[in-house]
Structure 1
Amino acid sequence: MLINKLKQISSGQFIRNVGWLGGAELANRIFRLGTTVTLARMFSAQDYGQMAVVYTIFDFATVFTLRGGIGTKIVQADREDVKTICNTSYWLNWILCGSIFIIQCLAAIPIAQFYGNNQLIWLLCTSALIYLMMPLYMVHSALLQRENRLKITAIANATQSLLGNFMTVTLALGGMGIWAIVLPMVLTTPVWIVINWKNHSWRPPKLFSLEKWQEVTYFGKNLLLVEVLNKLRGNLDYLIIGRFIGIEALGVYYFAFNAGSGISMNVINAFMSALFPHICTARTDYEQFKKRYFTSLKKVSLFVIPFIVLQSSLAPLYVPIIFGKKWLSVIPILIMICLSGIPRIFAWASNLLLNALNKTHITLYLNIFFTIFFAISILIAVNWGIFGVAVAVLISHLFVLPVLTIWTHQYIFNKHLFSHKSFQINKH
């Protein structure tokens, strides 16, 4: 009876976490609707191209912070090691974030030259200020995830979204152009600091220490490389389009991507953020681990897949109404990119499955293979313009990711392998 009760509590916690994160994402989308409509009518394709570059650089750079593997180690760590790992992660994050700030500022000039747009220098240097605030809350955020208190994460996300979108609309209407995007990114980041500190008792250590840094980096290095590959795939099409077709074409493609896949991927992210701590707590019990994983994946699929199909089918109706008729040409691109999100659900979940069992090196190998395939596809497809790139994105995801997911499931849920010592939780 007690075991069944605990299982029910755990399952209920997963649903509550998904509910909070999903609710925050819904609020985020409602707040962003006004922003998206405003920018779609006021921004040119050139403005969207600049926005794509800023977001791409920022998204890629954040991989090297706690989000890129070290934070996952805090979630996955044994109870007796948590304090030490948190203290070490705090100092590692300052080292990483400080370095990223300097590197991005130095790289701003060659990046601007690469795209032929000198305004990018100041945009990239200003957005880099965010990295100097991240170490102040990232350990707190990881601890809240470890404790399944994702309600706090949802509140922080929704609060920043509300403030950020209000500022963006106000600045855009005031004629600030692309700065209407960059300034709110920087000015709303302290929201995470305030909310996380208020809701978790952990405080940064006063003395510098890197105890157990090898353990942290050993676990994190593979996930760091996986995240680098994820971000590379997520932005490779932007980089190639911007370089070989032009910044205006990049703006059109970026709009299509965010109006399509951007929505569905944020919904998927809400589920996956709750899935990892949910399965980690059962990783030493084969039957419970397997049941939690597939039950949760079924719940994710039953919600997200119909959502993606509905969004894709309604694109011809809502794009001209919400964003304006000037974006009619992006509808076929939007639909293809949106549909590519379906196989990502299962691939993302299978990566978390491997990570929960310390098989991060396998996660890395699979991602290397897919990234190489994806890059070759995009480089070939760019010869047919942004429509060709969208076709390549859809085909590469539909044909490769299901194969990798099936292989991962067969590998992990081989009961003999699961009981083998290589699957026992260790401390390195």
Structure 2
Amino acid sequence: MLFNILKAKLKQIDSPFVRNVGWLGGSGAVIRVSRLITTVILARFLSSYDYGLAAIILTTNEFIRVFSRNGVGIRLIQGDEKQLEALSQSAYWLNWVVFAGLFGLQCGVAFPLAWFYDDKRLILPICAMALNLLLIPFGLVQAALLQREGRFKVIALTEMLQISTDNILSGILAFFGLGMWAIVLPKILVAPIWVYIIIKNHAWRPHGQFTTRHWGELFQFGRNILGVELLYTLRANLDYLIIGRFLSVEALGIYYFAFNAGLGISLSVMSSIKSALLPHLCDARAHPQLFKARYYHSLKTIGLILIPLVLLQSGLAPFYVPLVFGHKWIPAIPILILICLSAISRPFADSASQLLLAVDQPQKDLMWNLIFTAIFAVGLLIGVHWQSLGVAFAVLLTHLICLPVFTLWVMRYVFRTQLQYNEI
């Protein structure tokens, strides 16, 4: 009897969205296990100064790469089938122009950053990581088409292999005493894995000559999305920048450790949900009631998966941090708990952003992100007066207050305004 009830419940929640989240979440779980092992090794063999240098290098790379999240892939996911081939060809050549420019930009900013932080050791690793940017255009169109077709199994397995290899190599290099290079070098070495598997698993190939056709359309569609991604990346790294500039590289290292040890698992789950949700919603746009049902079902799935995970991890932090990572990281525990709790509201706001994209309203998402980024920056600048713990408290407070307001407003706007208009 109990088995039949459980089976019926599983059938109720089963959907392409849940299965795709399952693939991405399962991949993320394997990644997190490998990352946990690596984090333990890094915590034992790296100093807080090594962590601080790595944080600056990875933050720089993330700020440069945000310009690659310019909405081109999203346009391919939600574009009309009749235009898809022409858009794909244009997107391929546009990607090459964008990433070649980003390669030059990252190499260029390495020198002023070394001057800003007064550390010449930053120049070589920042330039070395820029090499990855020249590989990405080979498979970016195919990756978008795989998402459009709902083939998240391929994407999940690719990410699992690439990132797990990265984590394993980091642990090995840290053990042999490479310092911050133990974090940076593996990311360079594993980049070809993603390109090879993505290309191998999709039949699309570029053909014909270089073309700028549809670039205007791609830019027009993607400008709001790029703005959102820029603001999101700024918020994701603003606390690092403020702590590194106003406190110290050592303080940044402790904060960076706490952030990754506390929020890393939750971020991987949120990324899985975000990747799977947009194509799941776009597929139902022509059917308002199904569209609404899919969205609310996704929120239920998010709540069931993420909230217990966050509460469990934050509650157990005082026990597992000294046991697993070592007693030298005990000062990071309060920061870890606060950052971890800030994850509760994040995936619901991410889902609201995907909802706006699904109804072609990226400009409203951009406007919200401008407002929230300003509030977030003010909060961090106030919080830094109380050192790293004050910054972490500002992160928690702004996320728990502002993001639910945005989530509720989006649902009201879309389901009471947009869908009613579409039904007329």
Fold similarity call, TM over 0.5: yes
The percent of aligned pairs where both chains have the same amino acid is 47
The code of the aligned residue for 2:27 comes to A
Q: CA RMSD in A?
A: 1.6
User: Does structure 1 residue 37 correspond to structure 2 residue 40?
Assistant: yes
Q: Structure 2 vs 1, CA of residues 10 and 100 (structure 1 numbering), >3 Å: closer, same or farther? A: farther
Provide Cα deviations, 1:32-62, integer angstroms capped at 9, x if missing partner: 1221111001111100001111111112211
Give the match for residue 266 of structure 1: 268
The code of the aligned residue for 1:64 comes to F
Contact 1:10 1:278 in 2 (8 A): no
User: Does structure 1 residue 17 correspond to structure 2 residue 20?
Assistant: yes
Contact 2:352 2:411 in 1 (8 A): yes
Q: 5 Å matches for 1:278-293?
A: 278-293=280-295
Provide Cα deviations, 1:282-303, integer angstroms capped at 9, x if missing partner: 1121101000000111111111
Q: 5 Å matches for 1:16-415?
A: 16-65=19-68, 67-414=69-416
1: CA distance, partners of 2:402 / 2:309: 22
2: CA distance, partners of 1:9 / 1:101: 47
The code of the aligned residue for 2:304 comes to L
The code of the aligned residue for 1:71 comes to G
Q: CA deviation at 1:9?
A: 12
Would you say how many aligned residue pairs link Structure 1 and Structure 2? Answer: 414
Q: CA deviation at 1:205?
A: 2.8
Any unmatched runs of 5+ in structure 1? 1-7
Aligned partner of residue 183 in structure 1, secondary structure: helix
Q: CA deviation at 1:11?
A: 5.3
2: CA distance, partners of 1:417 / 1:93: 32
Contact 2:64 2:105 in 1 (8 A): no
Q: TM-score, normalised by structure 1?
A: 0.94
Q: CA deviation at 1:206?
A: 3.6
Any unmatched runs of 5+ in structure 2? 1-10
1: CA distance, partners of 2:65 / 2:107: 14
User: Does structure 1 residue 420 correspond to structure 2 residue 421?
Assistant: yes
The code of the aligned residue for 1:29 comes to R
Q: CA deviation at 1:420?
A: 2.5
Contact 2:359 2:418 in 1 (8 A): no
Provide Cα deviations, 1:161-190, integer angstroms capped at 9, x if missing partner: 232122212222222211112111011011
Give the match for residue 5 of structure 1: none
Contact 1:62 1:68 in 2 (8 A): no
Provide Cα deviations, 1:197-248, integer angstroms capped at 9, x if missing partner: 1110011234111211122111111000000000000000100110110111
Provide Cα deviations, 1:361-414, integer angstroms capped at 9, x if missing partner: 000000000000000111111111100000100000111111111111100011
Provide Cα deviations, 1:75-98, integer angstroms capped at 9, x if missing partner: 111111111111111111111111
Contact 2:24 2:152 in 1 (8 A): yes
Contact 1:354 1:363 in 2 (8 A): yes
Contact 2:349 2:406 in 1 (8 A): yes
2: CA distance, partners of 1:309 / 1:10: 23
1: CA distance, partners of 2:289 / 2:412: 15
2: CA distance, partners of 1:239 / 1:417: 39
The runs of at least 4 consecutive aligned structure 1 residues that moved more than 6 Å come to none
